[in-house]
Structure 1
Amino acid sequence: MYKSKSEVWQRGPIEKVPALLQPVAHALLQAKEEVRELTTDFPQTLLWTKPAGCASVGFHLQHLSGVLDRLFTYARNETLSQKQFDELAAEGKLNEKIRLIDLVERFDKQLDIAIEQLKNTDERILTDYRAFGRARLASTVIGLLFHAAEHTMRHVGQLLVTVKVLKCYKTDDDISSENE
């Protein structure tokens, strides 16, 4: 089906984002639009449901925010805070107190922070060495930023499938019996 609305990358450059980082910004902004669209009218009762044992919508939304935060932290040549480690440990764990809208808004906020960081990234440092993870693996600024964008889009794709599968069922019982 033809969409009249063009994708973000087709709308031109993002103001103040360096030319070499435009693809990162385009992918992240596309993810923001798609997450908003996918979660509109999604039932809160299915937020932590794992169809066929796959990751829940809640996990994907937590992970989207967390990965952006962590990879962009490493790109700034900083180490993760205890809060970031705690959030990583909590990803995907059932928490009935967490609302869908809160997860979507957290992702939006994290994405806005990421876009602002892109705007303030000097293209001359894109190939600078950056260590990441507990093992302090080797990467570069552009490597981390690009991976953040592609990893985000990968999880948006997984989110899309999970949302579509869950919306096919009316209750958690339907999903459970389908998986038996």
Structure 2
Amino acid sequence: MQAILMVGFVVLLAIFFALLVLRDKENSAKFRHYEGAIESLMRENYELKKRIETLAKEANSIDIDRVQIELEEFLDARLRDKTLPMLATLQELKQKISEQQSEQQNRINSLEERTRDFSKLTPPTPQSESELILAQYRSGKSVEMIAKDMQLGVGRVEFVLKMSGISLA
């Protein structure tokens, strides 16, 4: 029994040792990769420093006025290329907005005309209502019948008759 435990323990140690060796190899490979990357970056940094020094020497010999003029011309051309399409789009939008505005104005005018037409169909004014009440009373209808026919309250009919100088008995 102890022998089996001992063998199991040895196998477990061997597996653990194998895993450690594999991890060590992976880490070593990563370190080598990072060392190579750092070396190449250092070389590139050195080359860029040299290039900056040569460009600085050349910059002293460049005609700044000529470069400035060329740069302004280039920028003007780029601005024209970018702004002309935007200007055309803005003009199209302006035209569409004015079309919609006139369409909305036409709708408003149409609604105003309809509103005027509806105001012509309003119920009779109080003066004509009073005249109708008086005419019906003179034709012999009772106050209750007039109120029912005209869909008014009895008090309203009596009020109109009293205001017209007719006394109710």
What TM-score do you get using the length of structure 2 for normalisation? 0.20
Bigger helix fraction: 2
Larger Rg: 2
**Larger relative contact order (Cα-Cα within 8 Å, sequence gap ≥ 6):** 1
Bigger strand fraction: 1
What TM-score do you get using the length of structure 1 for normalisation? 0.19
